[in-house]
Amino acid sequence: MYKYDEVDHRLVRERVEQFRDQTRRYLAGELSEDEFRPLRLMNGLYVQRHAPMLRVAIPYGHLSSTQLRKLSHIARTYDRGYGHLTTRQNIQFNWPALERVPDILAELAEVEMHAIQTSGNCVRNTTTDAFAGVAADEYLDGRAYCEIIRQWSTLHPEFAYLPRKFKIAVSGSADDRAATQVHDIGLHVVKNDAGEVGFKVIVGGGLGRTPLVGKTIREFLPTRHLLTYLDAVLRVYNRFGRRDNKYKARIKILVQAMTPEAFAAKVEDEWAHLKDGPATLRDEDVAHYASFFTDPAYEQLAANPEAFTVPLVSDAAFAKWVARNTRSHKQTGYRSVVLSLKKTGVPPGDITAEQMDAAADWADRFGFGELRVAHEQNLILPDVKESDLYEVWQLARQHGFATPNVGLLTDIICCPGGDFCSLANARSIPVAEAIQLKFDNLDYLFDLGDIDCNFSGCMNACGHHHIGNIGILGVDKNGEEWYQITLGGSQGNHTAIGKVIGPSFAQADVPLAFEKIMNLYVEQRLAGERFIETVRRIGLEPFKERVYAKSH
């Protein structure tokens, strides 16, 4: 993991003090509400329905056990004993008092954490594959570049007041698990024919009101040019992105208006002046950052030890959990464990202080003191020996962390919705729960297999509903909460925006609509065909007919 040096520490502390003074001036009436808003947002502080909400950055989802313990301390001391993991690998606290936020930030700074640029119209936390560095299908580890980008974007003097927020995602594996195609910039770490490492650059993806899949503007950008090229993209956006209408201010609208080709040409023009400038990365610079992301001291182990294979056969519940909640690891004898935060009855992504402490202990005891946050809003123990899995599972079960549903229909990605968010059209949490209750039969759920279900409480799409295989969007009909269902969306290598199947549903009817959709899938699927594949093959019509058929 990256370790702060003296300068990193100093800058974060200075940011805390700057924010402390901004808060003081606001409370003293020296800053108006309108003036304070962008300043607090740039530091992760929203004012929501009930209270302020503080979003703390978890850079590219990496967390040490020490940091997680600090987060649990903050949840207990300044909040109501829990936090919420977000789809951008951050954590949110829903109930802090405004006056105490500077103290929270000071505590975070002690463990190399902050809330810098976790919201506001600036470059946000860079996200990546939660399994970066350990995934068996990874060809390049992008984490050193994530850290390089994190530092470049942190307090960037030129790009603090962009037209709109700006999100960058990095992926280095065969399977894109970072949703790079729906980010303002998606970077794929790749090797060219000459064996040189670089990036494929995708620009202008995003969801929200205008969901768009990003366009590749450069097939190969050599590593050393990463920062000068990012400066060029951001500068074109900063200068020419629309500022008159916040719904048209994202870079995707600029790319669409200019055409991707013209946008790419404009970036190349700008870059021609920046290329090979002072921000060009030398090999030793990259090596410096890569040195923080080396392998921990893995033991040389044989695969499938008895301590693993025996309970796998004797304990069906354990086997189910292993099948869904663990992943293959690049190191033989190890697996990564996904601690599911999708227990029925708990808002997706919510994690209690007790769970944080427990997970931190397991990270120390069974791993190397590291954890990851997945954009699916789960927590990950990246390095667990197969021989320890049975014990980890039992512990996880005791702590409500072992719902064996990772990647299944009930592993719902869900925004806070109307219970917390003032922009919401509808609540999301109770509806997600109703769906989880409807599909509480594990055998049936397993039989349905991989299904991404994504839920947003309004068209801002914080829950990524457009790229759910099945997506739900809260809509407002004359002051009532209704829900629109989309099918056919997907993330990853085949990113696609889902299509609305028809008129929206009242809250009570959503689970039934889901049931009809799943029944049809089970009837229609070919052997081994996943839900999304069936949807792609047979199209939306049969689903529409089934869902909207008049009942007899």
Which residues would be at the binding site for ligand SF4 (CB under 6 A)?
A: 415-417, 421, 423-424, 456-458, 460-463
- Closer to ligand HEM by CB, 54 or 105: give it: 54
Q: Which positions from 232 to 251 touch ligand HEM by CB under 6 A, shown as an x/- string? A: ------------------x-
Task: Compute how many other C-beta atoms are within 10 angstroms of the C-beta atom of residue 390.
Answer: 18
Q: Please, which residues have CB within 8 angstroms of residue 472's CB and are 6 or more apart in sequence?
A: 428, 431, 453, 454, 455, 456, 465, 483, 484, 485, 486, 510
Pick from 440, 462, 461, 449: nearest CA to 349: 462
- Residue 90 CB, shortest distance to ligand SF4, in Å, is 13
- How far apart, in whole angstroms, are the C-alpha atoms of residue 356 and residue 91? 12
Q: Please, which residues have CB within 8 angstroms of residue 373's CB and are 6 or more apart in sequence?
A: 58, 61, 63, 85, 89, 90, 91, 130, 379, 380
Contacts (CB under 8 A) with another protein, residues 117-156: 121, 148, 151-152, 154-156
85 alpha-carbon distance from chain centroid? 9
> Pseudo-torsion of CA 501, 507, 512, 516, nearest 10°?
10
- Tell me which of ligand HEM, ligand SF4, another protein, none is bound by residue 285, counting a contact when its beta carbon lies within the kind-specific cut-off of 5 to 8 angstroms: another protein
- How far apart, in whole angstroms, are the C-alpha atoms of residue 164 and residue 156? 15
Contacts (CB under 6 A) with ligand HEM, residues 50-109: 53, 86-88, 92
Q: Which strand ranges, in their side-by-side order, compose the sheet holding 62-64?
A: 62-64, 370-373, 379-385, 334-339, 326-328
- List, as one string, the DSSP characters of 116-161: TTSSSSSB---EE-TTTTTBTTBSS--HHHHHHHHHHHTT-SSSSS
- Closer to another protein by CB, 158 or 295: give it: 158
- Residue 246 CB, shortest distance to ligand SF4, in Å, is 13
- Residue 534 CB, shortest distance to ligand HEM, in Å, is 26
The one segment of 206-214, 297-305, 386-394, 491-499 that binds ligand HEM by CB under 6 A: 206-214
61 alpha-carbon distance from chain centroid? 8
- How far apart, in whole angstroms, are the C-alpha atoms of residue 347 and residue 393? 22
Pick from 294, 261, 269: nearest CA to 368: 294
Tokens of 500: 């609305």
Q: Which helix (H) or strand (E) holds 18?
A: helix 6-27
The one segment of 23-31, 200-208, 231-239, 255-263 that binds ligand HEM by CB under 6 A: 200-208
Q: Which positions from 279 to 308 touch another protein by CB under 8 A, shown as an x/- string? A: x-xx-xx--xx-------------------
206 is an interface residue for ligand HEM by CB under 6 A: yes
- How far apart, in whole angstroms, are the C-alpha atoms of residue 129 and residue 398? 28
Tokens of 33: 């509400």
- Residue 336 CB, shortest distance to ligand SF4, in Å, is 28
- Residue 426 CB, shortest distance to ligand SF4, in Å, is 8
Largest CA distance in the chain: 72
- How far apart, in whole angstroms, are the C-alpha atoms of residue 464 and residue 480? 22
Contacts (CB under 6 A) with ligand HEM, residues 141-160: none
- Closer to ligand HEM by CB, 87 or 403: give it: 87
199 is an interface residue for ligand HEM by CB under 6 A: no
The one segment of 235-243, 366-374, 414-422, 486-494 that binds ligand HEM by CB under 6 A: 414-422
- Tell me which of another protein, ligand SF4, ligand HEM, none is bound by residue 417, counting a contact when its beta carbon lies within the kind-specific cut-off of 5 to 8 angstroms: ligand SF4
The one segment of 234-242, 258-266, 406-414, 449-457 that binds another protein by CB under 8 A: 234-242
- Closer to another protein by CB, 291 or 422: give it: 291
The one segment of 189-197, 217-225, 280-288, 413-421 that binds ligand HEM by CB under 6 A: 413-421
Instruction: Taking the CA atoms of 501, 503, 506 and 507 in sequence, report the sign of the dihedral they define.
Output: positive
- How far apart, in whole angstroms, are the C-alpha atoms of residue 239 and residue 269? 14
Tokens of 381: 């123990």
Q: Which positions from 250 to 289 touch ligand HEM by CB under 6 A, shown as an x/- string? A: x---------------------------------------
269 is an interface residue for another protein by CB under 8 A: no
- Tell me which of ligand HEM, ligand SF4, another protein, none is bound by residue 277, counting a contact when its beta carbon lies within the kind-specific cut-off of 5 to 8 angstroms: another protein
- How far apart, in whole angstroms, are the C-alpha atoms of residue 97 and residue 81? 14
169 is an interface residue for ligand HEM by CB under 6 A: no
48 is an interface residue for ligand HEM by CB under 6 A: yes
- Tell me which of ligand HEM, another protein, ligand SF4, none is bound by residue 196, counting a contact when its beta carbon lies within the kind-specific cut-off of 5 to 8 angstroms: none
- How far apart, in whole angstroms, are the C-alpha atoms of residue 392 and residue 385? 10
- Do 95 and 84 contact (CB within 8 A), yes or no? no
Which residue in 88, 235, 327, 427 binds another protein (CB under 8 A)? Answer: 235
- Residue 272 CB, shortest distance to ligand HEM, in Å, is 30
Which residues contact ligand HEM by CB under 6 A? Answer: 46, 48, 53, 86-88, 92, 164-165, 182, 206-208, 250, 415-416, 420-421, 423, 460-462, 464
Which residues contact another protein by CB under 8 A? Answer: 5, 7, 10-11, 14-15, 17-18, 21-22, 35, 38-39, 121, 148, 151-152, 154-163, 227, 235, 238-239, 243, 273, 277-279, 281-282, 284-285, 288-289
